[in-house]
Structure 1
Amino acid sequence: MAMLQHTLGIFTNPDREWQRIRSDNETFLRVYLRHVPLLALIPCIAGYFGVTEVGWSVGAGGVVKLTAQSALMMAAAAYVAQLVAVYVLGEYINWMSRSFGVQDEASRRHYEGTALAVYSAIPMMLAGLVLLYPHMWLVVSVYIVAACYSVYLIYEGIPILMNIPKERGFIYASSVITVGLVLTVVVMVTTVIVWSSGIGPVYTS
């Protein structure tokens, strides 16, 4: 129930919800396992259906689809990438907490950073529903909006969760977003390397 309340709250009143998240008697492992494994399935399942059943077109060409096996491999890889990315980002936020003058209680709990990574990633995971209809410009537009809101959540959430001044929180949040971008680049480069090795997508004939 708390999962649903917090998920709705970060969309309706994020400042108030960050306060509630901070006051939760949770552990970093519990907040991670309650949200990420389930929510990360959304873009994977939607994407699998979209590329195998609906397909997409490039220019004036016909509809392109992937084989079920190829799509399943890509969905599984995307699922693992999401699990790893959110976990690594949460660990980075926790690790950097002392450098930005976070109070000892928050550093000791090792929870706030993971909670920030988890809840700020929710818009991106929910945006994965658009992959049911993988039209390029629709997907790009929805993900841009979701990414902007995730960035907003990070900037709003860090000063509240870490209990630090907004000025210091802005620098902290900027470093977190930089790491998030680096993780995105790493995933993209890894994808290119994997595809170059011959394990790329297989299209239906």
Structure 2
Amino acid sequence: MINHVWGLFAHPGQAWRDISNERQTVSRLYLSHILLLAAIPPLSAYIGTTQLGWSIAGGDPVRLTQASALPLALLSYLTMLIGIAVMGRFIHWMARTYSASPSLGQCIVFAGYTATPLFIGGLAALYPHLWLGLLAGTAAVSYTAYLLYVGLPTFMGIPRDEGFLFSSSVLAAGLVVLVSIIAASVIIWSLGVGPVYTS
């Protein structure tokens, strides 16, 4: 796992070739990669929001209670695990349009490795500052998109021009999933599972 994570940042083209040749199972990917890396953003956010807090207009730090931050962190963790499976299913469904025939498991493996920069970028939540979050988030999303465009043609064994269109479709679907998660969060918060601030 560590070799692939490092490879996706150091030499992504070769890393994608190695990953596609391995033919990992979904269970092995989740156990060795996703369960661990997907815990980085919620754990970092839990620590950052309960211990350090954030300041609004230079005022006193605002923190969440541990009791309210824990269920929010667990929900975000589960959402990421489910999001990887949903994106893998979408990639599998779209593959038929681009004359590729990967298994559902291969598509979930691809989605999991593509999301690696998003997981690593979650470390920025340890220090919940608006500009740091924006910079880290922008860098993570940009590199994730880069991995998607570089890796999808290699992983699916399709020409680059088809890979560009396929990657663009996947990116659009990922944005829809992200907006859906944000909308669901607002609905859940309105039902009383929202953040509670320390006094």
TM-score band, normalised by the shorter chain?
A: over 0.9
State how 1:1-205 maps to structure 2 within 5 Å. Answer: 3-102=1-100, 104=101, 107=102, 109-205=103-199
Q: C-alpha displacement at 1:115, in angstroms?
A: 2.1
**What's the CA shift string for 1:132-177, capped at 9, x where partnerless?**
1101110111011010000000001110000100000011001101
Classify 1:197/1:110 alpha carbon distance in 2 versus 1 (closer, same or farther; 3 Å).
closer
Contiguous gaps of at least 5 residues in structure 1: none
Rounded Cα–Cα distance in structure 1 between residues aligned with 2:10 and 2:127: 26
Residues 32, 114 of structure 1: 8 Å contact kept:
no
Q: TM-score, normalised by structure 1?
A: 0.93
Give the counterpart letter for 2:110 in structure 1. L
Rounded Cα–Cα distance in structure 2 between residues aligned with 1:32 and 1:89: 14
Give the counterpart letter for 2:38 in structure 1. A
Give the counterpart letter for 1:128 in structure 2. G
**What's the CA shift string for 1:60-92, capped at 9, x where partnerless?**
321100000001011011101100111110111
Q: C-alpha displacement at 1:43, in angstroms?
A: 1.0
Give the counterpart letter for 2:194 in structure 1. G
Q: C-alpha displacement at 1:194, in angstroms?
A: 1.1
User: Identity of aligned pairs, percent?
Assistant: 41
Q: TM-score, normalised by structure 2?
A: 0.96
**What's the CA shift string for 1:104-152, capped at 9, x where partnerless?**
4xx2x43432222111111111111111110111011101101000000
Q: C-alpha displacement at 1:53, in angstroms?
A: 0.5
Q: Secondary structure at the match of 1:201?
A: coil
Residues 92, 104 of structure 2: 8 Å contact kept:
yes
Give the counterpart letter for 2:20 in structure 1. R
Contiguous gaps of at least 5 residues in structure 2: none
Residues 112, 162 of structure 1: 8 Å contact kept:
no
Q: Secondary structure at the match of 1:61?
A: coil
Residues 67, 202 of structure 1: 8 Å contact kept:
yes
Rounded Cα–Cα distance in structure 1 between residues aligned with 2:31 and 2:170: 21
Give the counterpart letter for 1:76 in structure 2. L
